[in-house]
Structure 1
Amino acid sequence: MNEHNPVLYRKYRPKEFNEVVGQRHVVRVLMNALRRGKVAHAYVFSGPRGVGKTSIARILAKAVNCAHAPNGSGDSDAALSIPCGSCGSCTAFASNSSLNLIEIDAASNRGINEVRELRESVRFMPPTGKYKTYIIDESHQLTKEAFNALLKTLEEPPEHAIFILATTELEKLPQTIVSRTQQFDFSRPGIKDIKMRLGKICELEGAVCEDAALESISLAADGSLRDGESILGRIFAVESKNVTSKMVEEILGLPKKESLRAFFSAIAKGECASSLAVLEEMIHGGQDIRSIARSALGMSRNAFLLKSDPGLERVLLEEATSDDIDYLKSLLPLFSPGRLQDAIRIFLEAGNTIRKSPIPSLPLEIAVVELTRDQSSGAVR
């Protein structure tokens, strides 16, 4: 990959609604609004970072100004084809030269003076097109005074303006603001969705990436497509043609799946010495301790859900592979629900303690001892 190329998450940022990953519920409603000519004057997009809030806001801003935007007749074919990407407005958006898109970072422009400038700007009609769209990112960081000033504009919005407030902390937005908008909750994309998107990027970049490697990157992304694309970019900086799972594990310091399974199996069987030996081998092999704790926590949680209700396997397959699920199912007879609850609690505490521990491995070692105590004799809590 050429060193002058933009980072992957910018290079492959969705430009159309059909390129958005994992937010079908949001896209469907917005496209229906476009088809009917019923776009709201203000929206709140809330959800975790890196899931597409700003990307969808940009696509919406592009779509409402597209020369082929539906006129409210309900023409579904017209809605599906916008933004068209070829009209003068869409071309301006693609080159980041459109004057109808104003993006504000509330983390650094959070005061009342900035909002007053925004209110002054809103008064003017767009130079071309139909709407000026204001995207306020990290909107929860606006001051109380700034929110009060913004509220006045939201109460009597000009017809040519659309406001989109993006936030990772919805609870910090005043209810008076939220109640005057249409609010959408963005969810974390599933492992399958992230993996499919990363596979497509590899194809476009001319890279061959092992399926297991894509799976490891998708899991490491932890529900953030942007993080997944950033991780893939790091991998490409080392090897951009043939990406293997071993390479991904080494670059990211991820615990190997075989080692994790050996660790979790030993815990399930109550084998304290074996568990500690595998743990020591992983740590000495350079695998990140916090990643080990996080993976063990995830396996405990998934096993608990499967033990509680086998029907949840369908839900878990959105987050894990069928091979991972089958592995956990094979261990379920060794666990009681109470012991799995203990494992979740203990690994959660260990993960939170590692950073503060003078001996980083100690919290996990204590966790192993607690979880294998009395198990070798067949005792079950």
Structure 2
Amino acid sequence: MTTHTPFTEKYKPRAFNEIVFGSEEVKIMMQMYEKGFKSGSLILWGTQGTGKSTIANLLPAAIEGKKTTVDVIHAKEIKGNLYQLINRMQNGRNLAHLQDQRYYLVIEEFAFHDENCSVFWTELDKIQGDSMVIICTNEINKLPRSLTSRCECLEVLPASPEQFLGRAKWILGQEGLLLSDPVVLKALQSVAHLRDNRKYLRHLETVVGMYRLQQDGLVVNAR
């Protein structure tokens, strides 16, 4: 039996230039970080499935121009203990400095307002220049103002069908399926209301599956 890899894994961006941005503003800002025209801590916020984590994990390598170690921590791991997070940051920075590297930390689903938050943003002030912290959150309204004021805050929007069209046609081509722009666009538009880039990939997977069933002689109406 052939092992099937879901499109959400098979075709997720592996390099920064494969990301489909839903906002020209975010795309330009990311290019500025990549080229070294901007630096400092970053907050990427928006609904699920818009590519926040993908951007956060691929941006460091784009900045460095090579594969780069990224320290990723989920907010649930620290269970609101900001001192644990600060220790993680300090240890990571020390190790990176020993290796003559810049320290990159990605914090997933950071969404709490704690009385001890001041110790975290104080630490952020210390590391500016030799480290970069990227925070991903679905709920920016839960972050304290003293934190958001210290970071570049960017809303990551889902890609529109038109923006995702080129990537979709490339994916279909990799699967041996050549469809016209209007057909592919219609397929993308059917799930655009879900505002989730992963839904595009799942729907393309369905489209490919239906066409392959047709090739096997089964009666399926491909959409």
TM-score range, shorter chain: 0.7 to 0.9
**Mapped pair 1:137 → 2:136:** no
Are the counterparts in 2 of residues 64 and 131 from structure 1 also a CA contact under 8 Å?
Answer: no
Residues 19 and 55 of structure 2 are in contact (CA less than 8 Å); yes or no, is this contact kept in structure 1? yes
Match among 66, 80, 83 for residue 111 of structure 1 = 80
What's 1:232 paired with? 204
2:43–2:153 CA contact under 8 A, matched in 1: yes
CA distance 1:196–1:123, shift in 2 (3 Å): closer
**How far off its partner does 1:162 sit?**
0.4
Question: Corresponding residue for 2:30?
Answer: 30
Equivalent residue in structure 2 for 1:223, among 195, 205, 221: 195
- Structure 1 residue 134 displacement after superposition: 0.8
Native 8 Å contact 1:49 1:224 kept in 2: yes
Sequence identity of aligned pairs in percent?
20
Higher helix proportion (structure 1 or 2): 1
Distance 1:245 1:48 in 2: 34
Deviation at 1:146, TM superposition (A): 6.2
Task: Decide whether the 8 Å contact of 2:33 with 2:63 is kept in 1.
Answer: no
Structure 2 residue aligned with 1:153: 123
Is 2:176 the partner of 1:206?
Answer: yes
Q: Which deviations, in whole Å up to 9, do the C-alpha atoms of 1:330-350 show, x marking residues without a partner?
A: xxxxxxxxxxxxxxxxxxxxx
SS in 2 for 1:48: coil
Q: 3-state SS of the aligned residue for 1:187?
A: coil
In the alignment, which residue of structure 2 is the partner of 1:52? 51
Q: Looking at CA atoms only, which structure, 1 or 2, has the larger radius of gyration?
A: 1
Taking the aligned partners of 1:117 and 1:237, their CA distance within structure 2 comes to 48
TM-score, reference length from structure 1: 0.49
After TM superposition, list the pairs within 5 Å mapping 1:72-221 onto structure 2.
89-90=66-67, 98=68, 100-112=69-81, 114-126=84-96, 128=99, 130-140=101-111, 142=112, 144-145=114-115, 147-157=117-127, 159-209=129-179, 211-212=182-183, 215-221=186-192
Q: Which amino acid aligns with 1:231?
A: H
Which amino acid in the other structure matches residue 165 of structure 1?
Answer: I
CA distance in 2, matches of 1:9, 1:190: 17
Q: Which residue of 1 aligns with 2:221?
A: 246
Unaligned runs of 5+ in 1: 67-88, 91-97, 249-381
Amino acid at match of 1:199: K
Give CA-to-partner distance per residue, 1:60-108, whole Å, 9 cap, x none.
Answer: 1112222xxxxxxxxxxxxxxxxxxxxxx42xxxxxxx5x201112244
Task: Give the Cα–Cα distance (whole angstroms) in 1 for the partners of residues 99 and 23 of structure 2.
Answer: 30
The structure-2 alpha-carbon separation of the partners of 1:41 and 1:193, relative to structure 1 and needing over 3 Å to count, comes to same
Amino acid across the alignment from 1:228: Y
1:149 and 1:231 mapped to 2: Cα distance? 44
Question: TM-score, normalised on structure 2?
Answer: 0.79
Superposition pairs for residues 240-319 of structure 1, below 5 Å?
240=212, 246-248=221-223
Two-structure CA RMSD over aligned residues (Å): 3.1
Aligned residue type for 1:133: Y
Deviation string 1:207-263 (CA, Å, 9 cap, x unpaired) is: 345744652344314232122112333454565476999345xxxxxxxxxxxxxxx
Higher relative contact order (CA 8 A, sep 6+): 2
* Structure 1 CA distance for aligned equivalents of residues 30 and 99 of structure 2: 23
Question: How far 1:50 moved relative to its partner?
Answer: 1.5
Contact residue 169 and residue 184 of structure 2 kept, 8 A = no
Quick one: distance in 2 between partners of 1:200 and 1:245?
23
- 2 CA distance for matches of 1:135 and 1:226? 21
CA distance in 1: counterparts of 2:141 and 2:89, whole angstroms: 24
Equivalent residue for 1:62? Answer: 61
Is there any run of 5+ residues in structure 2 with no aligned partner, and where?
Answer: none
